[in-house]
């Protein structure tokens, strides 16, 4: 897994991140989603490494990266804090400006990084996500029935009690679908109580303050300054819930918004790595 890549624990001002990086060319930062770790990119990163220096961290609170010690400190779990980690990580690796892609919960951290640090992000790819504020403002019975976990995971104490007695039963997955080493890393993460709490903190911050950060940006007229490409899973429910996904993103972007669906389920990096890598390469290579 990740042949030719380096694996390090990188100590940053606010967090210590487990990071895998390799390849050559312009820097490309890939942010994973819930409940995965950076190893979800194991089949995608090598395909991109011929054209880019690919950087794959475990987000703060996830995998083997550090976890905030105060579980109720939502700012420490916020996408704004994770955006600071992203910029600090790329500083550590010597990259002033970089390409950025984020999937699922990682898409919110990627979005926040591009909004808060516009001079650092050259292009942004969002995978299976819309801004948290947009999701909450458009919430209806259909959203609540399909994405109920947003509200459950944000509750105090109860999610841990439900998940921790049988994490593998809660987060059902298979080595066949994920790849054996990726699956082993995933299992190590979900079996660690502090990591489960760290992943839940991402949802709690979303409901507590991340949407307020989005609202403040919208009210101030702040938008993404870089090109934006949105990719969604055709066998997931983003189109079903939002219809025209690109129309949700257009008010948030200064430049044109492009995008399309990929014929796979939610975990696209594992289910359609070749198509995803090709799509990302085409977008980031365009001048």
Distance CA 45, CA 43 (A): 6
Looking at 85, 104, 214, 217, which residue is catalytic?
104
Q: How many helices (H) and strands (E) does the chain have?
A: 17, 8
Tokens at residue 203, please?
């949802």
Q: Is 34 labeled as catalytic in the residue annotation?
A: no
Tokens at residue 131, please?
């801004």
Q: Is 38 labeled as catalytic in the residue annotation?
A: no
Distance CA 7, CA 146 (A): 36
Radius of gyration in angstroms for the set of CA atoms belonging to the chain, rounded to a whole number: 17
Q: Which helix (H) or strand (E) holds 275?
A: helix 273-285
Looking at 34, 192, 237, 266, which residue is catalytic?
266
- Three-state DSSP at 3 gives coil
Active site residues: 104, 266
């Amino acid at each position: 897994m990740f042949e030719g890549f380096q694996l390090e624990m990188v100590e940053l001002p606010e967090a210590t991140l487990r990071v895998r990086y390799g390849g050559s060319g312009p820097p490309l930062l890939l942010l994973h989603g819930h409940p995965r770790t950076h190893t979800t990119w194991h089949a995608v990163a090598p395909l991109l490494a011929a054209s880019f220096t690919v950087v794959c961290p475990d987000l703060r609170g996830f995998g083997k990266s550090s976890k905030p010690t105060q579980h109720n400190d939502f700012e420490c779990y916020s996408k704004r804090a994770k955006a600071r980690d992203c910029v600090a990580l790329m500083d550590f690796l010597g990259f002033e400006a970089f390409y950025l892609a984020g999937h699922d919960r990682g898409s919110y951290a990627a979005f926040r990084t591009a909004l808060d640090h516009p001079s650092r992000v050259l292009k942004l790819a969002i995978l299976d996500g819309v801004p948290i504020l947009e999701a909450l403002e458009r919430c209806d019975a259909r959203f609540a029935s399909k994405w109920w976990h947003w509200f459950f995971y944000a509750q105090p104490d109860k999610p841990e009690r439900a998940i921790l007695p049988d994490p593998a039963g809660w987060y059902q997955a298979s080595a066949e679908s994920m790849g054996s080493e990726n699956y082993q890393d995933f299992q190590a993460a979900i079996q660690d109580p502090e990591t489960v709490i760290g992943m839940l903190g991402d949802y709690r911050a979303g409901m507590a303050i991340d949407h307020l950060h989005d609202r403040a940006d919208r009210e101030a007229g702040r938008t993404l300054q870089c090109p934006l490409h949105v990719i969604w899973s055709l066998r997931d429910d983003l189109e079903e819930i939002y219809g025209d996904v690109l129309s949700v993103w257009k008010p948030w972007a200064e430049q044109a918004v492009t995008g399309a669906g990929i014929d796979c389920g939610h975990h696209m990096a594992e289910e359609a790595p070749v198509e995803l890598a090709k799509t990302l390469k085409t977008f980031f290579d365009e001048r």
